[in-house]
Structure 1
Amino acid sequence: MDSLFINSLLEDLKNPDETVRDEATRKIWRIWFQQKGVHGLEVIERSQKFIDSGKITEAEAVLTELVNDQPDFAEAWNRRAFLYYTNCEYRKSLADCQMVVKINPIHFGALHGMGLCFAAMGEYREAIRAFHRALEIQPYSQVNQKLILECTLRLN
């Protein structure tokens, strides 16, 4: 990845112009999905087809094979984290999100996912921290701002 280009896109995420932010977000996601070329993208697409047709076990198997074959492919971990989250397997999802962030510290999607997992488990302080980390990268993210408020209201 061209770090100058990525840094430019990261700066665009902080731009007051929503159009600039949206375009930067799309480009960053495209880079992440294409990190491992055609093969990685095809496997992720195959896993999504399994998910769409309700074949969760098959989707998990495909994604697990991909993370085992290419353990530095952050988006493979992220897709599996999403799968686990949608199946209410929050600890597994959280572990995969943490792996994504270890590989790619600017992965605002995984940071958001970590926050969702912590919130689902009732760990609201940790959720707030994760959403704040995501906001450092994407300061205009209204969903993360809203979730911080919701989690703050749930604190004892």
Structure 2
Amino acid sequence: MGQMMWRILRIYLPALMIVACLGSGAAADQNDQRLPPLFAELKARISLAQAKLLEAQIWSIWGNHGREDVERLMQRGIQAMGSGQLVNAIDLFQEIIRIDPDYAEAWNKLATVRYMLGEFEQSVEDVDRTLDLEPRHFGALAGLGMNFEALGNAKAAINAYRRALEVNPYLFSVRKRLKVLEDGLPEDAT
């Protein structure tokens, strides 16, 4: 695997595995009423441990569809991602999207796999769909920045990373990438 692919796995796989292991509850997704207060708290001055707990809660809600068949497909897709079976993961996430085209997390996972395969422009399209459904999706915003970096568009990457940090200021790897990119651009370019 390439260095960027390992980086994305290292950043997102722990959260993906938390979501996969949390089990089903009541139907939830990007429209869940528990999300607004979690996002508000995430913007407050809290400890890193509290921020990580809030992130895990948000990922859990995003990942919990409420339909058992969709959740089984999601778990299988996440497992396929983790084991490098990326084409199989794409098929599984596309099947979820056929079942529920308004499920933001399925679009986000599809975008992640396409990024891992180097299909950056398709990944950007899937991220855009994710953000249409869930504009606060800090994972998708970070992924958008990574896609733009891979496509050589530092200015767009900077904008995406800034948006991610507005939603979740505790994304330290995003903050680090943002600084690297900002330090590399002429002053009038940002």
What's the TM-score once normalised by structure 2's chain length? Answer: 0.75
- Structure 1 residue 147 displacement after superposition: 1.0
Distance, in Å, in 1 between the alignment partners of 2:84 and 2:164 is 30
* Residue 161 of structure 2, aligned match among 128, 131, 138: 131
**CA distance, structure 2, for counterparts of residue 55 and residue 108 of structure 1:** 25
Q: Which residue of 1 aligns with 2:56?
A: 26
Summarize deviations over 1:50-106 as a string: whole Å, max 9, x none: 334443222211211211221101111111111111111111111111110000011
**Map of 1:6 onto structure 2:** 35
Q: Which residue of 2 aligns with 1:140?
A: 170
2:32, 2:61 within 8 Å by CA — same for their partners in 1? no
- Residue range with higher mean Cα deviation, 146-155 or 23-32: 146-155
What RMSD in Å do the two structures reach over aligned CA positions? 1.6
Change (3 A) 1:17 1:41: same
Partner of 1:64: 94
Give secondary structure in 1 for the equivalent of 2:118.
Answer: coil
- The answer to whether the 8 Å contact 1:12/1:20 transfers is no
Higher RCO structure, 1 or 2 (CA under 8 Å, sep 6+):
2
Counterpart of 2:22 in structure 1 is none
Structure 1 residue 87 and structure 2 residue 117: aligned? yes
Structure 2 CA distance for aligned equivalents of residues 59 and 126 of structure 1: 27
> 2:14 is matched with which residue?
none
* Counterparts in 2 of 1:41 and 1:122: CA distance versus 1, 3 Å: same
- How many residue pairs get aligned? The number is 155
Question: d(CA) in 2 for partners of 1:53 and 1:144?
Answer: 25
Q: Structure 2: which 5+ runs fail to align?
A: 1-30
Q: SS at 2:97's partner residue? A: helix
Q: Does the 8 Å contact 1:84/1:92 carry over to 2?
A: yes
Q: Percent identity?
A: 30
One-letter amino acid of the structure 1 residue matched with residue 164 of structure 2: A
Deviates more, 1:69-78 or 1:30-39: 30-39
Flag structure 1 segments of 5+ consecutive residues without an equivalent. none
For 1:18 and 1:51, how far apart are their aligned partners in 2? 27
Distance (whole Å) between structure 2 residues aligned to residue 27 and residue 110 of structure 1: 16
